[in-house]
Amino acid sequence: MKIFPYGETLAAQRAGDVLFLRPDACLQSSSLTISDIRSQGRVLVVGFEEFSSLEDARDFVGEEIYLPENRLPPPSEGEYYHYQLIGLEVETRSGLRLGVLRSIIETGGNDVYVVERGGSEVLIPALEDVIISVDVDRRMMVVELPEGLMDDL
């Protein structure tokens, strides 16, 4: 199977390690044991003991595979895993509620946060001068929107 990882964490996995399918994706098994893993640029090619052919794996195409939180290395200071950011309430420094962070677009240069606001989306660049604070425990992100973006709200 080809896996498109959200970072470097999966690349550190080895044969025998166990990955998990998101609970809503589990058709046969919630865990998958790596039999072989190699990197092809940004893509990982992974074989799983549970699949003896490509046909066996076909039901899982497009599903998310993850590591349990207790097996993730702690992120560096000021960095967060995507799962920690999805669902955060986002507001401006002045207290204007923008909405909920629903997804993250990886652009190569910097991520872009997609915030759902009343049926529309606000795209916020994940830059140091824009993201003022992130409080994962309180589920809150405070931002200083770039000039011009604020005019559209």
Segment 12-41 shows an average pLDDT of 79
Q: Which residues, listed in sequence order, are joined to residue 3 by a DSSP beta bridge?
A: 44
Phi/psi at 43 (nearest 5 deg)? -105, 145
Q: What is the pLDDT of residues 67-106, one digit of tens each?
A: 878 888 888 898 898 989 999 999 999 999 999 999 999 8
Question: What does the pLDDT read at residue 71?
Answer: 80
Q: pLDDT digits over 103-150, tens only?
A: 999 888 899 999 999 889 999 999 999 999 999 999 999 999 988 876
- How high is the pLDDT of residue 145? 92
DSSP track, the chain: -EE--SSSTGGG--TT-EEEE-GGG-SS-SEEEEEEEEEETTEEEEEETT-SSHHHHGGGTT--EE--GGGSPPPPTT---HHHHTT-EEEETT--EEEEEEEEEE-SSSEEEEEEETTEEEEEE--TTTEEEEETTTTEEEE-PPTTTGGG-
Token pair 């830059």 is found at 127
Return the bridge partners of 66, or none: 20
Per-residue pLDDT, 5: 78
Q: State how far the Cα of 147 lies from the Cα of 84, in Å rounded to an integer.
A: 27
Among the ranges given (7-16, 24-33, 48-57), the one the predictor scored with the smallest mean pLDDT: 24-33
Residue 152 pLDDT > 70: no
User: Which domains can be identified in the chain, with CATH numbers?
Assistant: 2-70 (no CATH), 82-152 (2.30.30.240)
pLDDT at position 91 is 97
Q: Report pTM.
A: 0.73
